[in-house]
Amino acid sequence: MIAGSSGGHILPALAYINNLSLVKDPKSILFVTNEIGKNYLEKIESNKINKIILKSKNKFFFIINLLLKVSFVFLSNRRIILMGFGGFITTPVLIISKLFNIFLLCFNKIYIHEQNVIYGLANKINYFIAKNAFISFPKDNMRSKEIFVGNFFINRNKFREKLNHNFINVLLMGGSAGSLDLNNMMLKEITNFNKAYLKNIKFFIQIPESHINVLKKKYTDLVDNNCKFFSFKDDLKPQEYDMILSRSGSGSINEILYYTNNVHFTPHLISRDQHQKFNLDYFLSHDMSQKIFYIPNKKNITSQFYFNPLINPHSIQKIICYITR
């Protein structure tokens, strides 16, 4: 399994690894990632899973290190099943595997997983060398290699946070890298909000590590101690919040809209393919609501269960069944 660059690529890979280790010997599983993936390794349930962590900031040393470590794996094993979950580090690994198939008569099988509506740059390249591409969104016209499995879903049975409903709870989710512009939107809204109501509101704010000190001060100056900060949380319970301001990455948009529509999504538009915009457009075209962002001055929780019909809670298991059958 290869994944890097963001939580949107890495979290489905880890879910796949944890499920696969229940049916295959964990010692036969190898996870290749970079510095970002290193931050998520504690979510791997078996300590027998093998790992290669590549430093990718210096591209020259990254390629040299990759060639040395990955080539050794391919030389030692002639029949490997590879699954690329996205991020730029997947492409060179899959290309090396393909070259081993061609020139050294290896029998590696290459698959990819795409969690967004459109393929990212890495997976656009990977598609041409993959045997199959597992996709998360349904299409009217499937390409020959595509297999629809539905969108990855975080374990619903795990422990989730329980909030104090004496407060109005407001959440900001900026994705694995955090988000400066979403935080600026939230700060502007707080600044314009009726100060008499602020004491009744609890804010839960995702902040990029690089800006944590500056942004913390800005929030605490406005709302005193009614603010909790985090860089990553995996125990979120979306239906506990009265309003959510979020990026529209595939994981966030599916998880939130499975439980609640008290949310305003703002796509991250800096990425070259603008996949978050296309994710959001897809949901809007299927009548999923997109609320105007505001901070409520009264409780906004409803008892109605908000079901997202585009999700498949068993998407990861479906991939495993297909590959291991």
Q: What is the pLDDT of residues 193-219, one digit of tens each?
A: 888 888 899 999 988 777 777 788 888
pLDDT-derived band of residue 324, with 50, 70 and 90 as boundaries? Answer: confident
Residue 275 in this model has a pLDDT that exceeds 70? yes
Q: What are phi and psi of 182, to 5 degrees?
A: -65, -40
Separation of alpha carbons 280 and 300, rounded Å: 23
Confidence band for 158, pLDDT divided at 50, 70 and 90: low
Residue ranges in the chain assigned as alpha helix (H): 7-20, 35-38, 59-76, 90-103, 121-129, 180-192, 195-198, 212-223, 250-259, 275-285, 315-324
Report which residue type is found at 154.
Answer: I
pTM, two decimal places: 0.86
Contact at 8 Å (CB) between 46 and 25? no
Domains of the chain, residue spans: 7-151+313-324, 168-285
Q: Note the pLDDT of residue 306.
A: 63
Closest CA to 89 of 175, 210, 6: 6
User: What CATH topology corresponds to 7-151+313-324?
Assistant: Rossmann fold (3.40.50)
The Cα–Cα gap between 257 and 313 comes to: 13
Residue of 150, 154, 156 lying closest to 322 (CA atoms): 150
96-105, 186-195, 231-240: segment of lowest average pLDDT:
231-240
Q: In what order do the strands lie in the sheet with 227-230?
A: 227-230, 201-206, 168-173, 243-246, 263-265
Give the separation between CA 284 and CA 175, rounded to whole angstroms: 20
Report the mean per-residue pLDDT for the chain: 86
Question: Got the DSSP string for 53-100?
Answer: EE--SSHHHHHHHHHHHHHHHHHH-S--EEEE-SSTTHHHHHHHHHHH
Write down the residue that tokens 């979306």 correspond to. 238
Q: What is the pLDDT of residue 40?
A: 86
pLDDT score recorded for residue 130 = 96
Q: What is the CATH number of domain 168-285?
A: 3.40.50.2000
Per CATH, 7-151+313-324 and 168-285 having the same topology is answered yes
| pLDDT for residue 307 is more than 60 | yes
- Averaged over 216-225, what is the pLDDT? 84
**Residue 80, Cβ neighbours under 10 Å: how many?**
18
Q: CA 158 → CA 15, 109, 235, distances in Å?
A: 13, 33, 8
Query: Residue 263 is encoded by which pair of tokens?
Result: 């949310």
Q: Would you say 135 and 126 are in contact if contact means Cβ atoms under 8 Å apart?
A: no
| Distance separating the N- and C-terminal Cα atoms of the chain | 18
For 10-20, the pLDDT digits (tens) are: 989 999 999 99
Residue with tokens 């963001």, as numbered in its chain: 6
Q: Phi/psi zone of residue 186: left (φ > 0), alpha (ψ -120 to 50 degrees), beta? A: alpha
Average pLDDT over residues 139-165: 82
Q: Cβ of 108: how many Cβ atoms within 10 Å?
A: 18
Question: Which of 57, 85, 118 has its CA nearest to residue 267?
Answer: 118
Per-residue pLDDT band for 315 (boundaries 50, 70, 90) equals confident
